[in-house]
Structure 1
Amino acid sequence: MPQITVDYSADLAGDFDRPGFAKALHEATVEIAAAKPPACKSRFRPTEDIVVGPETEGHAHVHIHIALLAGRTDEVKARLTQAALELLRTHLKPAEGLTLHASAEVRDLDPSYAKFES
């Protein structure tokens, strides 16, 4: 915890500083949501195709999913969502001609969440 997943258009790969973004988002998650630094985990999933309305070209997307153990207030979740989007602006410089659709959400992990380390 937290589990962070970032889905992004594959054509953004060269313009997206993913390690820098993850590090900065982990720091923000610790500060805003009182997470422990070693507990922050991020994974990035490139997506090949995106369709926006009737268009299949000229668009790119990034969606940031942040899942936390229950107990954070809606205000904390909203602050973390906004911080994630602001950090994205500083770590992603999309190519000209692409319209970027960026979004983020913070949600509670299901009570069934479990983990182990070995």
Structure 2
Amino acid sequence: MPQITVDHSYGIEDFPDAFVRELHETTVEIAGAKPESCKTLFRCAILSVFGYEEPDDDEVQRHAIVHVTIGLLAGRSEETKAALTEAVLELLRKHVTPVPGARLHASAEVRELDASYRKFES
């Protein structure tokens, strides 16, 4: 914990190392997470579709999508979760650049991990 996932479409230039570092630092600062517990997984979608447009190469280049999900153990206030979400959006504005000519659609959310959440390290 926290479990951070960054889902994104093609059409986004590489995520800079500074984005991940600041994302972890922000999560530690706002949500009280431990630095060594921050884990981020990036997943690039094979296909993304915007609105009713047909998914072809031109459309992929015109719209870039990124969504950050942060899973935290229960116990954070709604205010803390909202502050973290807003901070993540600011980091996306600062660090994420779509390919030239593409419009960036960015979103973020903070979720509580289910009580069944378990982990192990080996």
TM-score calculated relative to the size of structure 2: 0.90
Q: Is the 8 A contact 2:66 2:107 kept in 1?
A: yes
Aligned counterparts, 1:1-118, within 5 A: 1-12=1-12, 14-17=13-16, 19-55=17-53, 56=55, 57=59, 58-118=62-122
* Alpha-carbon distance between aligned partners in 2 of 1:20 and 1:10, rounded to the nearest angstrom: 20
Give the RMSD, CA atoms, in angstroms. 1.1
Deviation at 1:63, TM superposition (A): 0.3
Aligned structure 1 segments of 4 or more residues deviating by more than 6 angstroms: none
TM-score calculated relative to the size of structure 1: 0.92
Name the SS of the counterpart of 1:10 in structure 2.
Answer: coil
Name the SS of the counterpart of 1:82 in structure 2.
Answer: helix
Q: Is the 8 A contact 2:4 2:38 kept in 1?
A: yes
Q: Which runs of 5+ in 2 are unaligned?
A: none
Q: Is the 8 A contact 2:5 2:43 kept in 1?
A: yes
Amino acid at match of 1:69: L
Amino acid at match of 2:63: H
* Alpha-carbon distance between aligned partners in 2 of 1:38 and 1:15, rounded to the nearest angstrom: 24
Q: Which runs of 5+ in 1 are unaligned?
A: none
Deviation at 1:48, TM superposition (A): 2.2
Deviation at 1:9, TM superposition (A): 1.1
- How many residues of Structure 1 are paired with residues of Structure 2 in the alignment? 116
